[in-house]
Amino acid sequence: GEDVEQSLFLSVREGDSSVINCTYTDSSSTYLYWYKQEPGAGLQLLTYIFSNMDMKQDQRLTVLLNKKDKHLSLRIADTQTGDSAIYFCAEISAGGYQKVTFGTGTKLQVIP
Amino acid sequence: EPEVTQTPSHQVTQMGQEVILRCVPISNHLYFYWYRQILGQKVEFLVSFYNNEISEKSEIFDDQFSVERPDGSNFTLKIRSTKLEDSAMYFCASSELGEGFFGQGTRLTVV
């Protein structure tokens, strides 16, 4: 089955850039997502990228996709304390708009 | 901005009781989902629903669970005879073109 892996923890200083990495196994992934979850809260869709794209930029967020290596990254520029949260990478496969498979989540800690 | 809404935000129930978690998906979306997240663990897929029927379900979604779209706006998850291990955050999601929009979740506590 599909598998999505992430590192568990990342700590950065306020103002620095954060890079959260994700690897996935499903070569038929059509959409890849980044969700943010603050403590006790729901899942907020941050951004997504189609599998035929290499990069997508949205304000402070840059998503890079290396489809050959099945590697996805999320770069947050000028990281703020409000960015502290768990970030989930997720993918959806071809063949219909079915389930989203989530990664294990990366806890981002921003140090003031 | 349209959003997925879930009620209640927190539900406490006794073991063995039935609970119904409610969701109002985004109005023009066609695909609906339930996920759960046990505290501190990853988000797990339960079931997807399209065209008034289940399109896919995980091994977690056994006979204890059922989903229904009783009218044009609501999407419900029923858990029969709840167990302690059903305690989790349950997320509803809906999508139109693949990007999934999630509700804020219902925290279910089984005591």
CB contact residues (below 8 A), chain A span 48-67, against chain B = 48
* pLDDT band at residue A19 under the 50/70/90 scheme: very high
Residue A88's pLDDT is 94
* Helices (H), ranges, A3-112: none
Contact B33 A105 (CB under 8 A): no
Average pLDDT, chain B: 91
- CA–CA separation, A10 and B84 (whole Å): 32
Contact A33 B58 (CB under 8 A): no
* pLDDT band at residue A44 under the 50/70/90 scheme: confident
Q: In chain B, which residues have their Cβ closer than 8 Å to the Cβ of A45?
A: 99-102
> What Rg, from alpha-carbon coordinates, does chain A have?
13
Could you tell me which residue, A43 or B22, shows the higher pLDDT? B22
* pLDDT band at residue A85 under the 50/70/90 scheme: very high
Torsion of CA B30, B34, B40, B42, to 10 degrees: -60
Q: Which residues of A47-56 are buried (b: 16+ CB within 10 A; e: fewer)?
A: bbbebeeeee
* Residue range B60-88: mean pLDDT, rounded: 94
Residue A35 CB neighbours (<10 A)? 24
